[in-house]
Amino acid sequence: MNPVWTRCLLPLAALTALTSALISDFQQASANPSRPTVRDQGAIAQASSSARQRRKRIAFIPRQVGTVPSRRVPGSVRGSACKAGAQKLTALTPEWDPQVLSASTPTFLFYVPLASAEALEFVLQDEAGNVVYQQTYTPAARSGVIRIRPAAAPSLPVLQVGKPYYWAFSMVCDRTDRSRDVLVDGELQRVEPDVALAAKLAITDGYDRAALYAASGFWHDALMTLVDLRQANPSDGSLQEDWQDLLRSVGLSSIAQEPLLPCCTLQPVARPAL
């Protein structure tokens, strides 16, 4: 055989295969214009894989190790029959107090199991023991993570920088015997970001902003940034993974896959006399 033709065999075979692939893609596109071709699907999968590899796992790094363990799950309670299931009432907080935020008004998240509680109660106090905010709520009809936003109250004062505040959240099992409440509580302190962090936050948004808050020790800000992102993009699986990574970083794996309830605050009811 002529050596010239021998050298042309491989290029000719490659050209034939390429032509067949292009014809196949054209036929797929003609049959279903909205359906990606095999070639497109491969490119999409490769791009998605690259995006996942570029995004680092979000993790909370405390500003300093606290000296007081938080009570984010209840202790033993006499006759607390209103708790249902194995998963306890849980505050979505780190393991040590004080918790830090930069926002002037706080937002709190709690996992609440489906139970026979008569009401839920949230109380926020200043360092002198004065009640800054207090409200009771109707329990939801399903278990999941709820959001308590005292900022919705027009009378709520702005949190003072550097001052400690104390919160408590209760499942009220018996209005006539509050010793049976299932209770979690903790300490909160507002801290202003330093100049360097503030400059970074000014040019950062989305996931990167949540990751920056978490790496800088601002738990509440990181948590709420992710909550807002998830609620705005409920079908984004990567945000669900980010949420789980953040909760796992503070030992909350057991509730990392619990749903965010569609309501952002519960319906208030008349507050019982204490």
Residues 130, 20 share a domain: no
Residues 133, 23 share a domain: no
Q: What is the pLDDT along the chain (274 residues), one digit of tens a residue?
A: 544 444 434 444 444 544 454 445 545 545 554 444 444 444 434 434 434 444 678 999 988 755 666 778 876 555 556 766 678 899 999 988 888 999 988 889 999 998 888 889 999 999 999 998 888 888 888 899 999 887 666 667 789 999 999 999 999 988 888 888 889 999 999 999 999 999 999 999 999 999 999 999 999 999 999 999 998 998 999 999 999 999 999 999 999 999 988 664 454 554 444 4
Domain-embedded: residue 260: no
Residues 209, 134 share a domain: yes
Surface-to-core class of residue 274, CB atoms within 10 Å of its CB (0-12 exposed, 13-18 middle, 19+ buried): exposed
Write down the pLDDT at residue 83: 62
Residues 145, 33 share a domain: no
Residues 203, 167 share a domain: yes
What span, in angstroms and rounded, lies between the C-alpha atoms of 71 and 58?
24
Q: Which domain holds residue 139?
A: 68-75+82-255
Q: Are strands 96-97 and 182-190 parallel, antiparallel or unpaired?
A: unpaired
Residue 121's H or E segment, with its range, is strand 119-126
pLDDT digits (tens, 9 = 90+) for 33-70: 444 444 444 443 443 443 444 467 899 998 875 566 67
pTM for the full predicted model: 0.74
Residues 95, 28 share a domain: no
Residues 141, 19 share a domain: no
Write down the pLDDT at residue 36: 47
For residue 176, the tally of other CB atoms under 10 A from its CB is 7
Domain-embedded: residue 50: yes
Residues 227, 123 share a domain: yes
Residue linked to tokens 């070639």: 39
> Domain holding 108: CATH number?
2.60.40.1220
Domain-embedded: residue 182: yes
Residues 41, 90 share a domain: no
Domain-embedded: residue 225: yes
Write down the pLDDT at residue 91: 94
What span, in angstroms and rounded, lies between the C-alpha atoms of 45 and 77?
51
Domain-embedded: residue 230: yes
Write down the pLDDT at residue 27: 54
What span, in angstroms and rounded, lies between the C-alpha atoms of 177 and 154?
31
Write down the pLDDT at residue 69: 65
The string of DSSP letters for 144-176 reads: EEEEE-GGGSTTPPPPPBT-EEEEEEEEES-TT
Residues 239, 125 share a domain: yes
Domain-embedded: residue 112: yes
Residue 194 neighbours by CB under 8 Å, 6+ apart: none
Residues 133, 92 share a domain: yes
Residues 94, 47 share a domain: no
Domain-embedded: residue 166: yes
Domain-embedded: residue 124: yes
Structural domains counted in the chain: 2
